[in-house]
Amino acid sequence: MTQNNIVTGEIASGKSEFCKILSKLGYSVYYADKYTKMQYNKENLNQLENIFEFKIDLLNIDYRKLREIIVNDSKKKRKLEKFLWPKILLSIKKDIEKDNKIQKKKFCFIEIPLYFEARDIVDKILTPNKIIYIKRSYESRLEDLIKRDKISPRLAKNHIDTLKYDSENYNKVDYIIDNNLDLNSLEKKAKNMIKLLETGEVIK
């Protein structure tokens, strides 16, 4: 049976870059954000419009606008997560099982930005093997978020401060990957983590 490993971390911490490295190393990676966007479909449209309280054009979805609403409205955020998380996770699980039938692999990785907020249902559906936390400085995340999303420093700061994790969550993870250097350093840390998962040894 494939062991499901969760990759998480705060916004703009480098989760996707880390997962790209894992993919390059030959491991299957599933991105929760991708599965979230797949749920914006005709079947779910009425419920989504009820949550956001406006019409959604499925042919021209402004995901940035939707995210800003969720960041600033905790009530809508809770409703959306309660509605979408089971669908997202079951879709991921289905794809993992399908891929495992084609080519059985010991490990796979699932990037879930808000893992700790949805931990109970994630653990119930995906039964994670290990939790990997990508850690990066506030200043680096702020700078990258402004560039990546082309938003103002004020809005970027609001996103980071609203979606921040409690420091006690560090005690709930298996690996903390410090991502404050360059991609070469991040790749070495990814290889070390894989080595630990495989054998318990660390690459010197």
Which helix or strand (DSSP H or E) is residue 176 part of? strand 175-178
Distance separating alpha carbons of residues 35 and 93, to the nearest angstrom = 11
For residue 104, give both structure tokens: 């059985």
With vertex at residue 92, the alpha carbon angle to CA 132 and CA 189, rounded to the nearest 5 degrees, is 25
Altogether, the residues listed in the chain come to a count of: 204
Q: If you search the block for the tokens 């990785």, which residue do you land on?
A: 109
Is 12 marked within a binding site? yes
Q: How many helices (H) and strands (E) does the chain have?
A: 9, 5
Is 185 marked within a binding site? no
Is 9 marked within a binding site? no
| Residue (of 19, 57, 17, 64) closest to 40 by Cα position | 57
In terms of DSSP bridges, do strands 3-9 and 107-111 run parallel, antiparallel, or are they unpaired?
A: parallel
Other beta carbons less than 10 A from residue 38's beta carbon: 12
Is 140 marked within a binding site? no
Which residues, other chains included, contact 147 with Cβ-Cβ below 8 Å and sequence gap of 6+? none
Which residues, other chains included, contact 1 with Cβ-Cβ below 8 Å and sequence gap of 6+? 100
Q: Binding site membership: which residues?
A: 12-17
Q: Binding site membership for ATP: which residues?
A: 12-17
